[in-house]
């Protein structure tokens, strides 16, 4: 393996570029925007150049243990996606931020810093490097989330930071333990260590702790509280970055742990699967109830992360037969990025014009805007898993992997009830996806509403181009599954040490279409009989209003986390600390009472007047008798006696 200088370049060049851009932006905003786009373009080219190489680079001793990068297979794919997403959103940012936005210079600086850190995570070859960049990314992306500086934003960003930092520290604890048990943090070597370990209990504990930080970033339930709000309040390009890439860094960690470290480990896979199923369902349910466009997209991301986790879990459970599950999770990971890129930028276009995200306010915005409608439609059909769009391919693979394991269980004569349930829930969550996306689409593009008044040009040609391309990718990947999707899966598979599927998957065969049809039918039912009946209200003039029926009591953040972590724990901690402190204090008070006791039994407080002999003018004698000197003298005598006693 040669040292490939491209890897450190990809990580550090955007960071340097960000600083240069900041300096440029102080004088010339136009130049800065162009420069930022150029930087991301160069990074994109660099990432593509990694294709087909076994790139490796290490910087010994850097930051202590040294950094190790590697750029093969899946890592290369991730780097390309990251760079592409960044390139597109940077171009889009130019228009999005043009109106009414302050602190753009700061945004560009931290946007590029985050790019470098994210690439650092995806290209890392050991967990130490992952962690270093993971923490950098947390803080730089915090600035992106808090950009608007409104009350809501500060609150949401605070939650984001708190969850991410706490998670990061738990991960650090896990890494300490892994490092102690295995003596290395290199992902490949850890795999060997775990695979040959006699007793895996220690590894499960260490791995579980390591998982927490990644799960927090990927916003797995119950660490998901930051995600819906953070996505909603962040500027749209930043939300796109968060949804497409930043949460995926958490999933990258989950993949590295479940695909490489806990290689073919069924127990571990089961745990991931359960978390995945819960996240998948909860995200979808939250999305059905939401009435804010960006919040729907955010909750949808949450749900899709659950889908990917299901795949990550299944590949561990399936062991050697995990080809479908591996392909499914990788492809859903990739497809979801492109889908959300198009959708969040589309949401950005709407926001840029209306300054609103509430469905009731933006109703009808897209009615006579065919281009925007088309872009949204591509993304929505993709995520619904409609055949011919990319989401269908990956969801089918994930579904098939569950079915495959049910077959295996049945052949072995074991009960498959649990996995049947998982399958049903999987299809149901798919159905909910269809339902909430239909709700979104109908509201913005079909129904009439006040926002229909926005006519004329609503985005410039540069934005239109990047949006169209990202939407087109969704369709293209779905139409040419074997050419594009299978290739991506083949490049990436090595990350999971997975074998190729035993036979080529016929995506459009009847067996595979069934799952999609069940989901779509479920979705239609939910939309028609639940959303339209319960979550919408018919007004006097015949139009519909969307209602927020989600009960406030069910807010995990406000009802549990915030009270516990902001009120109860600090109070208890301070109480314990103070009371322990006051025990010592009490002893001192007692001593004082004794030492400063005057002849007639009156307690004389240690006033500053008695501090030294000179300060008291009523004669030096009383100064000595009542002052500090007396106490010190007695104390000295006491110590001397104690010492003599011990010595003799």
Partner 1 sequence: MESSFIMLLPIVFPIIVGLGLLTVKFKERKKREFWVSAVIILNALIALAVIFYGPKEMFTAFRFSDRLSLAFRVDGLAAVFGAMVSVLWIITTFYAFEYMKHEGKEDRFFGFFTITFGVVLGIAFSANMVTLYLFYEFLTLVTMPLVMHAMDGKARHAGKMYLIYMMFGASLAFIGFIFILTYGTSLDFVMGGVLNPDLVAGNEQLLRFVFVMAFFGFGVKAAVFPFYRWLPSASVAPTPVTALLHAVAVVKSGVFAIIRLTYYSFGTDFLRGTWAQSVMMIAAMITIVFGSTVALRTPHIKRRFAYSTISNLSYIIFGVSLMTPAGLTGGLMHMIFHAIIKITLFFCAGAILYQTHREYLYEVQGFGKKMPIVFATMSIVGFGLIGIPPFAGFQSKWALATAAVESRLPLAYVGTGVLIISALLTAVYLISIVVAAYFPKQQEYPAGYWDGVKEPNKYMTIPLILLTIASVVVAIFPAPLVNTLQMIANGLL
String of contacts with partner 1 for each residue 42-81, x by CB under 8 A: -------------------xxxxx----------------
Gyration radius of the chain's alpha carbons: 30
CB atoms under 10 Å from CB of 21, counted, come to 23
Choose the stretch contacting partner 1; rule: CB under 8 A; options: 269-277, 381-389, 403-411, 604-612. 604-612
Residue with smaller CB distance to partner 1, 113 or 377: 113
Residue 633 sits in the site that holds partner 1 (CB under 8 A) = no
Which residues, at least 6 apart from 576, have a Cβ–Cβ distance to it below 8 Å?
none
Choose the stretch contacting partner 1; rule: CB under 8 A; options: 156-164, 196-204, 415-423, 500-508. 156-164
- The pair of structure tokens assigned to 447 is 């129904």
Alpha-carbon distance of 425 to 419, in angstroms, equals 10
Residue 594 sits in the site that holds partner 1 (CB under 8 A) = no
Choose the stretch contacting partner 1; rule: CB under 8 A; options: 86-94, 164-172, 380-388, 552-560. 164-172
**HEC letters along 351-409:** HHHHCCCEHHHHCCCCCCCHHHHHHHHHHHHHHHCCCCCHHHHHHHHHHHHHHHHHHHH
The whole-angstrom distance between residue 53's C-alpha and the CA centroid of its chain comes to 29
The whole-angstrom distance between residue 25's C-alpha and the CA centroid of its chain comes to 29
Residue 643 sits in the site that holds partner 1 (CB under 8 A) = yes
Which residues, at least 6 apart from 330, have a Cβ–Cβ distance to it below 8 Å?
74, 77, 488, 489, 492, 493, 495, 496
The single residue among 165, 270, 408, 556 that binds partner 1, judged by CB under 8 A, is 165
- Shortest Cβ distance from residue 146 to partner 1 (Å)? 6
Residue 131 sits in the site that holds partner 1 (CB under 8 A) = yes
CB atoms under 10 Å from CB of 467, counted, come to 28
- Contacts of partner 1 in 265-294 (CB under 8 A): none
Residue with smaller CB distance to partner 1, 460 or 640: 640
Number of residues that bind partner 1 (CB under 8 A): 52
- Shortest Cβ distance from residue 388 to partner 1 (Å)? 45
Residue with smaller CB distance to partner 1, 62 or 195: 62
Choose the stretch contacting partner 1; rule: CB under 8 A; options: 11-19, 143-151, 214-222, 490-498. 143-151
The single residue among 94, 95, 126, 135 that binds partner 1, judged by CB under 8 A, is 135
- Shortest Cβ distance from residue 319 to partner 1 (Å)? 31
Choose the stretch contacting partner 1; rule: CB under 8 A; options: 232-240, 295-303, 498-506, 635-643. 635-643
- Shortest Cβ distance from residue 43 to partner 1 (Å)? 20
Cβ pair 213, 321 in contact under 8 A: no
Alpha-carbon distance of 611 to 36, in angstroms, equals 65
Cβ pair 346, 376 in contact under 8 A: yes
Residue with smaller CB distance to partner 1, 58 or 244: 58
Residue 139 sits in the site that holds partner 1 (CB under 8 A) = yes
Cβ pair 97, 107 in contact under 8 A: yes
- Shortest Cβ distance from residue 588 to partner 1 (Å)? 8
The closest alpha carbon to 209, from 114, 131, 142, belongs to: 131
Residue 604 sits in the site that holds partner 1 (CB under 8 A) = no
Cβ pair 627, 613 in contact under 8 A: yes
The Cα-based distances of 449 to 24, 362, 409 in angstroms read: 43, 7, 53
- The pair of structure tokens assigned to 347 is 């949401």
Helices 569-595 and 628-647 sit at what angle, rounded to 10 degrees?
90
Residue with smaller CB distance to partner 1, 8 or 385: 8
CB atoms under 10 Å from CB of 418, counted, come to 13
Give 529: exposed, middle or buried? Use CB within 10 Å, 0-12, 13-18, 19+: exposed
Residue with smaller CB distance to partner 1, 31 or 637: 637
User: What is the residue whose two structure tokens read 């349910």?
Assistant: 285
Choose the stretch contacting partner 1; rule: CB under 8 A; options: 171-179, 324-332, 432-440, 482-490. 171-179
Residue with smaller CB distance to partner 1, 74 or 160: 160
Choose the stretch contacting partner 1; rule: CB under 8 A; options: 13-21, 25-33, 148-156, 499-507. 148-156
DSSP for 274-319, please give it. HHHHHHHHHHHHHHHH--BHHHHHHHHHHHHHHHHHHHHHHHHHHG
- DSSP class of 149: -
Residue 628 sits in the site that holds partner 1 (CB under 8 A) = yes
The single residue among 16, 42, 49, 169 that binds partner 1, judged by CB under 8 A, is 169
The single residue among 34, 42, 158, 622 that binds partner 1, judged by CB under 8 A, is 158
Residue with smaller CB distance to partner 1, 446 or 572: 572
Residue 222 sits in the site that holds partner 1 (CB under 8 A) = no
String of contacts with partner 1 for each residue 540-579, x by CB under 8 A: ------------------------------x--xx-xxx-
Residue 172 sits in the site that holds partner 1 (CB under 8 A) = yes
The closest alpha carbon to 390, from 300, 465, 477, belongs to: 477
The single residue among 9, 204, 530, 611 that binds partner 1, judged by CB under 8 A, is 611
User: What is the residue whose two structure tokens read 């993709």?
Assistant: 382
Give 645: exposed, middle or buried? Use CB within 10 Å, 0-12, 13-18, 19+: exposed
Residue 38 sits in the site that holds partner 1 (CB under 8 A) = no
Residues that bind partner 1 (CB under 8 A): 61-65, 131-132, 135-136, 139, 146, 149, 151, 154, 157-158, 161-162, 165-166, 169-170, 172-173, 176-177, 179-180, 570, 573-574, 576-578, 580-581, 583-585, 606, 608, 611, 628, 631-632, 635-636, 639, 642-643, 646-647
């Amino acid at each position: 393996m040669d040292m490939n200088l491209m890897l450190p370049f990809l990580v550090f060049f955007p960071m340097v570029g960000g600083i240069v851009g900041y300096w440029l932006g102080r004088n010339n905003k136009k130049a800065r925007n162009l420069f930022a786009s150029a930087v991301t373009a160069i990074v994109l080219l660099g990432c593509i150049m990694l294709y087909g190489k076994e790139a490796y680079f290490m910087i010994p001793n850097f930051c202590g243990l040294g950094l190790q990068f590697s750029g093969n297979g899946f890592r290369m794919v991730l780097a390309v996606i990251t760079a592409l997403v960044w390139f597109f959103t940077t171009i889009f940012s130019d228009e999005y931020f043009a109106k009414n936005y302050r602190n753009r210079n700061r945004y560009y600086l931290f946007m590029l810093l985050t790019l470098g850190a994210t690439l650092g995570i995806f290209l890392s070859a050991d967990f130490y490097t992952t962690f270093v960049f993971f923490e950098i990314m947390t803080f730089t992306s915090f600035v992106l989330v808090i950009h608007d500086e409104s009350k809501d934003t500060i609150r949401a960003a605070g939650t984001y930071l708190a969850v991410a930092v706490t998670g990061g520290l738990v991960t650090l604890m896990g890494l300490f333990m892994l490092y102690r048990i295995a003596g290395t943090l290199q992902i490949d070597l850890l795999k060997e260590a775990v695979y040959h370990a006699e007793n895996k209990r220690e590894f499960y504990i260490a791995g579980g702790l390591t998982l927490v930080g990644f799960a927090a970033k990927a916003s797995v339930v119950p660490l998901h509280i930051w995600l819906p709000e953070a996505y909603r309040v962040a500027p749209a390009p930043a939300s796109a970055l968060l949804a497409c890439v930043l949460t995926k860094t958490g999933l990258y960690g989950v993949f590295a742990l479940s695909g490489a470290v806990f290689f073919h480990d069924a127990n571990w896979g089961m745990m991931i699967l359960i978390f995945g199923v819960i996240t998948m369902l909860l995200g979808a349910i939250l999305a059905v109830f939401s009435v804010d466009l960006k919040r729907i997209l955010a909750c949808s991301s949450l749900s899709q992360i659950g889908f990917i986790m299901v795949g990550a879990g299944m590949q561990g459970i399936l062991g050697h037969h995990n080809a479908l599950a591996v392909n499914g999770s990788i492809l859903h990971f990739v497809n979801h990025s492109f889908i959300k890129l198009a959708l969040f930028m589309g949401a950005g276009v709407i926001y840029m014009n209306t300054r609103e995200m509430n469905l009731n306010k933006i109703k009808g915005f897209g009615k006579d805007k065919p281009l925007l409608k088309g872009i949204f439609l591509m993304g929505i059909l993709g995520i619904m898993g409609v055949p011919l769009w990319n989401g269908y391919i990956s969801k089918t693979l994930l579904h098939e992997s569950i079915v495959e394991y049910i077959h295996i269980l049945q052949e072995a004569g074991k009960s498959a009830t649990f996995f049947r349930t998982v399958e049903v829930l999987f299809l149901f969550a798919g159905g909910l996806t269809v339902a909430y996306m239909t709700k979104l689409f109908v509201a913005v593009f079909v129904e009439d509403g006040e926002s229909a008044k926005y006519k004329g040009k609503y985005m410039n040609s540069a934005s239109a181009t990047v949006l169209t391309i990202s939407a087109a990718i969704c369709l293209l990947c779905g139409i040419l599954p074997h050419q594009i999707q299978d290739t991506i899966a083949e490049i990436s598979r090595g990350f999971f040490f997975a074998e190729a599927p035993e036979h080529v998957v016929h995506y459009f065969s009847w067996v595979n279409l069934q799952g999609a049809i069940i989901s779509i039918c479920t979705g239609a039912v939910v939309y028609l009989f639940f959303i339209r009946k319960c979550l919408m209200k018919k007004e006097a003039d015949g139009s519909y209003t969307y209602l927020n029926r989600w009960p406030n009591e069910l807010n995990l953040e406000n009802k549990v986390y915030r009270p516990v972590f902001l009120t109860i724990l600090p109070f208890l901690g301070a109480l314990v600390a103070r009371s322990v402190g006051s025990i010592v204090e009490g002893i001192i008070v007692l001593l004082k009472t004794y030492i400063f006791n005057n002849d007639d039994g009156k307690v004389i407080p240690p006033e500053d007047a008695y501090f030294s002999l000179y300060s008291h003018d009523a004669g030096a004698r009383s100064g000595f008798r009542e002052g500090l000197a007396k106490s010190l003298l007695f104390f000295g005598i006491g110590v001397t006696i104690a010492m003599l006693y011990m010595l003799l």
